[in-house]
Amino acid sequence: MMQKIQKFGGAMFTPVLLFAFSGIMVGITTVLTSEVIVGSIAEATTTWYKVWWTVKEGAWTIFRQIPLLFVVSLPIGLAKKQQARACMEALLLYLTFNYFIAAILANWGTALGVDYSVEAGNGTGLALVASIKTLDTNMVGALVVAGVVVYLHNKYFDTKLPEWLGVFKGSCFVCGIGFFVMLALAVVFCFVWPVIQTGMKSLQGFFMGSGALGVWVFTFCERILIPTGLHHFVYMPFAYESIAVDGGFKAAWALNLSEYAASSKSLATLFPAGRFALYGHSKIFAAPGISLAFYATAKKNKKKEVMGLMLPVALTAILCGITEPIEFTFLFAAPFLWPIHAVLAATLATIEYFVVGISGEFSSGLINWLALDWIPMAKNHMGQILAQIAVGLIFTALWFFIFSFCIKKFDLKTPGREDDDEEAKLMSKKDYKAAKAAEEDTSNDPTGSIEVEGGDAAKAKKFLELVGGKDNVEDVTNCATRLRLTLKDDSILADMSAFKKAGAHGLVHKGKAVQIIVGLSVPSVREEFENLLD
């Protein structure tokens, strides 16, 4: 079971790597389009603003299309063969799933408790997926569909059909079966998901009338529900609708900014609705603590790699308030940490409001904090701002120590802690012979007549020889840096030194489960490896 969980985490880590660059670009363009930071040149009517706004729209692409990204990425990591075709199948069936939902809601939406006539958007329960107005199932829908498709692909892709039905084999057969599975799945989601959404809406009254407990539960729900997309039902009504204050806390704060800046009263007294924007504190103060915990608990030979990974995602969270890169980094690799993260975020927001008296528009990153809160409020509220920072930094330390403790205590596979056996040792005579055999013996080719030369193809060929040939391989997947294999007989596996000689960085061997540490070129090596198997 643990092996399957790790395989799933590794598969999910591949798309997460894409978030860092996009997040940095969002941060840069946000700065360059902010009048508070760069002055009047960033007014909405200027060419400067229009150019950088265009660039920013492109940078937001990955964050607006997260479900599509994950529905295609899961088969890359989990499909046992023909990953490209599995990705095509997953995309087609995910779109089919959403077209089914759209048709069901168009005909029976009212009976199911869904107002399908409203425009799709955050907080409405509806979303646009590839221009399809459908239920907002976010990553849950995407991962469920992708998981089902991976299962169908692995089970039915190689099904042999009569010659006269040959046109329907392979991907066509998988999609044919998947068509009817998606219809049933869409029906289930149409009955179940609106009930869950309605339950989230009913919590709004509790949030409003429960004081400190209401703020704690509100912030906890906003964080814990991010993977499901249901967090939109937590914060969106408070941010944009008249639940806590007329027009939502975002508009109300901006409209009264001058008045609040001129007053010396506590910010919590001036703007009580701002307690529902304090979930943004975890975006800024959690990121450095989590990143440092991952760095501190990483293996010595991987600390530089972890630093290079975590620095950009931490900056993305702190400056822009985009937490997907850092949170998804551990959500799939170590889901045990996710509820702890949500508890700390909720506790921080509650203390900031009821103890420090902080309130305002703190729902985003540091750039927005400076423009909408700290700079305007500095003159009359500097004491509260400093207290806010002090409490936040204390919680940064808590994130660091608690995450570090849990990672070590439960041996969680966070970045830099993947299984690895690369200790320095002298080469024995047996190691030497194995390495020489891997390097020189090409007469007995377990891959048949396939001939490959150079680069990743050569690595793949050597790796296949060292694991005992294609007849000894049951399953092939990969994570961000490792080729993961399941062998029929692990007793014929060569020593780690032979794999290093063939270009690997190391080898992890646990029974029939084998991980060849390749590096970031592992997708290409896996493709060449599977070409040899075929």
Catalytic residues: 479
Burial of 246 (0-12, 13-18, 19+ CB in 10 A): exposed
Contact in structure between 159 and 169 (CB atoms under 8 Å): yes
Q: Tell how far CA 277 is from the center of its chain.
A: 23
Contact in structure between 460 and 528 (CB atoms under 8 Å): yes
The span from the CA of 408 to the CA of 119, in Å, is 47
Query: In 10 A of CB 399, how many CB atoms?
Result: 25
Alpha-carbon distances of 409 from 120, 338, 421, 454, 525, rounded to whole Å: 44, 16, 20, 43, 34
Angle between helix 66-78 and helix 2-16 axes, rounded to 10 deg: 130
Give me the sign of the Cα torsion angle 155, 156, 157, 160.
positive
Contact in structure between 509 and 479 (CB atoms under 8 Å): no
- Phi-psi category of residue 247: left, alpha or beta, with phi > 0 → left and psi -120 to 50 → alpha: left
* Structure tokens, 150: 């991976």
- The radius of gyration of the chain's CA atoms, rounded to the nearest angstrom, is 26
Contact in structure between 496 and 505 (CB atoms under 8 Å): no
Contact in structure between 235 and 364 (CB atoms under 8 Å): no
Burial of 532 (0-12, 13-18, 19+ CB in 10 A): buried
Give me the sign of the Cα torsion angle 77, 83, 86, 92.
positive
Name, in order, each residue with C-beta under 8 angstroms of 196's C-beta and a sequence gap of 6 or more.
Answer: 230
Contact in structure between 463 and 526 (CB atoms under 8 Å): no
Q: Which residues face 476 on adjacent strands?
A: 485
Query: In 10 A of CB 151, how many CB atoms?
Result: 14
Helix (H) / strand (E) containing 530: helix 522-533
